[in-house]
Amino acid sequence: MREIFSEYTDCIDRALQNVFSAQTDLPMYKHLGYFMGFYDEELNPITTYGGKRFRSGLSLMLADWYGQKESGVSVALSIEFFHNFTLIHDDIVDEDILRRGRPTFWKLFGTDHAINSGDAQLILALQIVSESTELSAEQKISVHTFLMQQYLKVVEGQYLDFTLTSAVLGDAGVTKDAYLTMVAKKTADLIAAATMVSGIVSDKSEKECETLFAYGYNLGIAYQLCDDVVSIWGTEEQTGKRAHGDILEKKKTMPILHLFEKGNDDTKQSLLHLYNTDRQMSETDIQTVVALLEENDVYTYMSTEIGKRAIAAKDAVEKLSLAPDKKDTLKNIVDQLLPDIKKI
């Protein structure tokens, strides 16, 4: 995926380093540089994998296609800073010790520094737009207003995620609709922000901007649903994580919620017994859940739902005022971001 945006991710990486180098000499900024892939664990300069830069790369690519690459850099950086702010805090909440094959921020520098430095990235995400020399005063207001709206939705989505995680399977509020609402805010709204903001900085029509939003939004939901599938049915070789990780962690993802909604009484009771206890899932328990998913053809249901969102994203592409080859690239991004789950 990063190869598609290589021209733009290289530009974003250089801009990120410029932002860090313009700050004071506090080690905090090298800590942030570590998370972005510019330093090793001893804070020596290196170049390593610091993420796909997917959201920011997509945003800058679209801005360039609309003839506004220079204006698009600051908004792409804002997207990148905000996304990584959420990741630093997510790792604390999830107690993850690895990200991108390296120790997570909190594991390496401590929880206090992780919270504080995550907050710093949020401030940088806001500051980079307000201090841009490439955006007009009017553009700054439009971009800032839109991004703040979208960023708040992501934070709301995080709240909903916490709420669903702590809730008990079978409660009235633990539903597929509730899960989709959470996914839409936490994941889809940030990708939609990345796509639509390129239209805003390019002074595109309201219709064009709304179509850009629809592309990113549907792509974001499909991406999360695909991740739900891969997390259950993918192998360790495919995911780089333990097989059936979501089941092991008793996550109430879309496949589980659909199974609970459509399953018979015995299926519901089995899930309640396995998910609503403090006992850790055994390998036998995991295989029981997988068998129930298979018996109720949940895999096919998920494949269909992912396909609907992928089609919606590609349909939006057709309505954009872009050249055919650029539309093909956007469709190819859908195909690359959403691996063919039928091969799992």
- CA 128, chain centre distance (Å): 21
Residue-wise pLDDT tens digits, 156-185: 999 999 999 999 999 999 999 999 999 999
pLDDT in tens, 112-158: 999 999 999 999 999 999 999 999 999 999 999 999 999 999 999 99
Neighbours of 263 (CB within 10 A): 18
- Residue found under tokens 């903001």: 197
pLDDT (tens digit per residue) in 34-72 = 999 999 999 999 988 778 899 999 999 999 999 999 999
Reported pTM: 0.94
Average pLDDT, the chain: 93
CATH numbers and ranges of domains, the chain: 1-135 (1.10.600.10)
Separation of CA 288 from chain center: 30
- 172-to-123, 264, 266 alpha-carbon distances in Å: 37, 17, 19
pLDDT score recorded for residue 5 = 86
Please compute the mean of the pLDDT values over residues 4-23 and round it to a whole number: 93
The pLDDT tens digits for 192-210 are: 999 999 999 999 999 999 9
